[in-house]
């Protein structure tokens, strides 16, 4: 049985909302972002205590200048946005370019 940790809600339009469930792998990725790169998450909270998948984050390290404001968007286990432009990026691209390193 697959364990579900957190429901992320993506606001598609002003009226339409889609729920994205986060699996263990994505949870590990988010934990890795927090612990390895000192990222602070500022979550938007919607009804029923669900969290938005668009999160303001600050990278505090050598990857980006200190206090660089970014957006983090989660579409699925292997698609994540971690750039100021808001474009979708494959997690493999981030790993290959050493922006992320997979947690062993």
Q: Which two tokens stand for residue 102?
A: 């997979």
Question: Shortest CA distance to 90 belongs to which of 76, 104, 70, 69?
Answer: 76
Alpha helices in the chain (DSSP H): 24-37, 91-96
Q: What is the pLDDT of residue 62?
A: 29
Chain segment 60-93, per-residue pLDDT in tens: 322 333 333 344 444 444 444 444 444 444 445 5
pLDDT in tens, 7-65: 333 333 333 333 334 445 545 555 655 555 444 443 333 334 444 444 333 333 223 33
Q: Tell me, what's the pLDDT at 33?
A: 54
Instruction: Give the per-residue pLDDT at 63.
Output: 32
37 three-class SS: helix
Residue 97, pLDDT score:
53
């Amino acid at each position: 049985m697959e364990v579900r940790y957190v429901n992320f809600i993506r606001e598609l339009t002003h009226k339409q909302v889609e729920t994205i469930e986060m699996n263990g792998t994505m949870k590990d990725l988010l934990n890795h972002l927090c612990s390895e790169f000192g990222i602070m998450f500022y979550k938007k909270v919607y009804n029923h205590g669900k969290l938005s998948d668009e999160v303001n984050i600050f990278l505090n390290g050598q990857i980006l200048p200190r206090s660089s404001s970014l957006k983090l968007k989660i579409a699925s286990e292997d698609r994540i946005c971690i750039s100021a432009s808001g474009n979708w990026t494959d997690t493999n691209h981030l790993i290959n370019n050493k922006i992320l390193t997979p947690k062993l």
